[in-house]
Structure 1
């Protein structure tokens, strides 16, 4: 049975998906203690390690989780924070600490020599000119005898109802052909099919049957703005000529940031769920017909977290945990690719051993 360690685990999106693919996730590593509370509450049996990866040593991880070196069944997963490489990052200085986290992950791959390696990040991680960190890592994998497949994909092809492009890499030293997640149909991946069932909420309300189904309170002016935005895809241009509602920063600039203060469409995929998805001023995050932004539960559902997944913390922290996460459905497809590959390799090995007798 494959077993994994989830580096930069956050609240556990990757862990959740790998577990759904029947991979035993031994633990997750992250520097944020608040994320660990959600991680362990929702992933029993997987240990959360609050560690600064830049200071953490491979031999310490070996002791903490009882890992073996050269384990064919070990998967090391690195989904590092991506502020530096993100196209929407407006402050490279604030995100600069995330630039070289792959180098820290590299140390652990070098030490453990696992059967499989997975890396997931924003598309800019691959496309950024001069990204020597990734190039060095790919050279290292080749030198160590790993085969790998890397690509930029849209998670819509893996059961996630949102337009969200991601870079991913899967490497193995078990064969010359690396695993690759199988794409599925996009049919049925609509906002309506995923969040249309939730109870009606007003701005600032919480559903008593599900505390995570809670909507941030809108200011009186923002409530007027969403009420003036037509259902099912309306945007701020509808009230651009109303002096009370129009924002000074958008006067005479109808061509920019048209999605802010906009509503989602019922029968399309959602936009990328970000760490501020519960705020209508940060994107097309208005509910398709109710006068509010998305609830925390709705955001988690569009990220494909199970309905019983537990998130702990205040609203801002939970929104960050959800928006930063690898969508579990995408992670599950990666996990299935790993398990299918490993089972095929193991069967082939057994056949070859049988022929030698």
Structure 2
């Protein structure tokens, strides 16, 4: 089997590097990451000892990727195309991000031009039932047409020790032989909980920054929203409030289905899926189980399995809650990146032991 330093990974749509970091921690060489958000450059390069290219995938060429892969025995191309067009919200707002439907096709174009040994792709589970374009089946057909063995499944993140109820499609494909995701590592009885993940962090108030951890900071709340969170019991939501605290939109029939909004997390269950708005109280069940605030940036990062030493901002840059929430919510959990890397390494071990 080739030595680990001969396995090179290029990460398209890399963001701040969640997927790359998990693979990096498993010993894979992260050659480069591509993303249109130039503000991700510092975090990506600092944490993954890699090179960040601020570039639209539509402008990425065969020659560029092939050149970066030179000298590697095993070439791995990773791509987590932005999932907004396939999300639940996009099913209701059909025109939102419709130009992003083509990003997975652009990923497929690069795969077909470069023919890397291994391909991995992650996206929201709704892509399976997406009606406007058969994006996933088109991508799988492209891979199979180019002699890839393909495996994909819906991953429920708690099954791999990730403390949030995120569900994602994870696809692996190899031109070397059959490839599969490693078996799950956790069962419901030992899912990692909110308490196990953030229970030992110092308490803070809404609007406060922990003096020993600048990322452990929570958004300020208006006096009305402070009344609302104080009126919310553990595991509760706006349904538990007095009528004078309930928003008008939730009094309408159309708003009654959003039962988790303004909700508190349950200490003894995994957290809900982290989103780009996960540090806002009114955007889901993002209230701290006991403290009267939404979760902090540090807590969101921990639910996403970013290690405490992960550098999100340059020392010269001030921490932005809005920007950091977007970085964290958009990321692939690094632990899922580790699962992907272990699956690839297991696959290569089987191939080269034959």
Q: 1:332 aligns with which of 335, 338, 345?
A: 338
Deviation at 1:155, TM superposition (A): 1.2
1:153 maps to 2:159 = no
**Corresponding residue for residue 91 of structure 1:** 93
The one of 21, 24, 39 equivalent to 1:19 is 24
Indicate the residue corresponding to 1:310 in structure 2.
311
Alignment size in residue pairs:
340
Asked if structure 2 preserves the Cα contact closer than 8 Å seen for 1:159 and 1:330, the reply is: no
Supply the distance in 2 between the matched residues of 1:294 and 1:140 (Cα, whole angstroms): 42
Distance 1:185 1:103 in 2: 34
Instruction: Give the structure 2 partner of residue 100 of structure 1.
Output: 102
Write out aligned runs for 1:1-357 (5 A). 1=4, 2-43=7-48, 45-63=49-67, 66-68=68-70, 73-89=74-90, 90-129=92-131, 131-175=133-177, 177-186=178-187, 187-230=190-233, 232-241=234-243, 243=244, 245-251=245-251, 253=253, 255-312=256-313, 314-348=320-354
Segment of structure 1 superposing worse, 27-36 or 123-132:
123-132
Tell me, in whole angstroms, the C-alpha distance in 2 between the residues paired with 1:72 and 1:100. Answer: 30
1:294-324 C-alpha deviation (Å, 9 max, x unpaired) = 0001000001110111112521111011011
CA contact (8 A) 2:159 2:186 kept: yes
Local SS of the residue matching 1:120: strand
Cα deviations across residues 107-133 of structure 1 (Å, max 9, x unaligned)?
221122111000110112122135333
Q: CA–CA distance in 2 between the matches of 1:307 and 1:130?
A: 40
Instruction: Provide the secondary structure at the position in 1 that maps to 2:59.
Output: coil
- Greater mean deviation of Cα atoms: 124-133 or 4-13: 124-133
Q: Identify the range of structure 1 (102-111 vs 264-273) with the bigger mean alpha-carbon deviation.
A: 102-111
1:352 corresponds to? none
Instruction: Give the 3-state SS of the residue equivalent to 2:299 in structure 1.
Output: helix
Aligned to 1:84, the other structure's residue is in SS state: helix
Task: State the superposition RMSD in angstroms.
Answer: 1.6
TM-score normalised per structure 1? 0.91
SS in 1 for 2:203: coil
CA distance in 2, matches of 1:145, 1:60: 23
- Partners in 1 of 2:239 and 2:137 — Cα distance? 44
Task: Work out the CA distance in 2 between the residues paired with 1:200 and 1:93.
Answer: 42
Partner Cα distance (1:62, 1:285) in 2? 43
SS across alignment from 2:120:
strand
Tell me, in whole angstroms, the C-alpha distance in 2 between the residues paired with 1:49 and 1:72: 23
The TM-score with structure 2 as length reference comes to: 0.92
Q: Find the residue that maps to 1:119 and give its secondary structure.
A: strand
Give how far 1:3 is off: 1.5
